[in-house]
Amino acid sequence: MNQAENPIIKNIGNIIGVAVLLCIFVFMLSHPRRENEYDMRYVEILVTQKEITEMDDVAVYLIHTEDPDKNQEIFEITNAALGERFEESEVYKQIKPGKYYKLRIAEPEAYESHYPSICGAVTLIDGFTPDAKTKGGR
């Protein structure tokens, strides 16, 4: 039989391509991509004050808040917690004292911050929801 007529030799490029794709597929199934997963909580807060301070020679964006039970807490806005979708300085500008917000919060160790970190988008709300007080704002 002539080599040009042998179907295996004729399709060797396709066979190698399929084998490489199969190897990649098996590797991806056996090693799924895992992002860091941290416990996060949702809070409803009233912003009482904003502040930009310097810690470790870096500007730190802080939001002073009050929950429905009048407990005060400080949250930090960091680029690490916001991801690539938002910039900390822009989120800081959007948050206004005297307004109510719903936030997703991660503990300080999750993003190596000084205070609990605001994660992702900040949602403006009209006031505390009726069940926010019963859940302690958490």
- The β-bridge partners of 118 are 105
Q: What per-residue confidence (pLDDT) applies to 116?
A: 95
Q: Where are the domains of the chain?
A: 1-34, 40-134
Class of domain 40-134: mainly beta
- Which residues fall within 8 angstroms of residue 94, CB to CB, at 6 or more apart? 122
Q: What per-residue confidence (pLDDT) applies to 39?
A: 76
Q: What per-residue confidence (pLDDT) applies to 36?
A: 54
Query: What percent of the chain is helix, strand and coil (3-state, nearest 5)?
Result: 35, 30, 35
Per-residue pLDDT of the chain (138 residues; tens, 9 = 90+): 555 577 777 788 888 888 888 888 888 777 765 555 567 899 999 999 999 999 989 899 999 999 999 999 999 999 888 887 788 999 999 999 999 999 999 999 888 899 999 987 789 999 898 877 655 544
pTM (predicted TM-score): 0.68
Do the Cβ atoms of 63 and 81 come closer than 8 Å? no
Q: What per-residue confidence (pLDDT) applies to 106?
A: 92
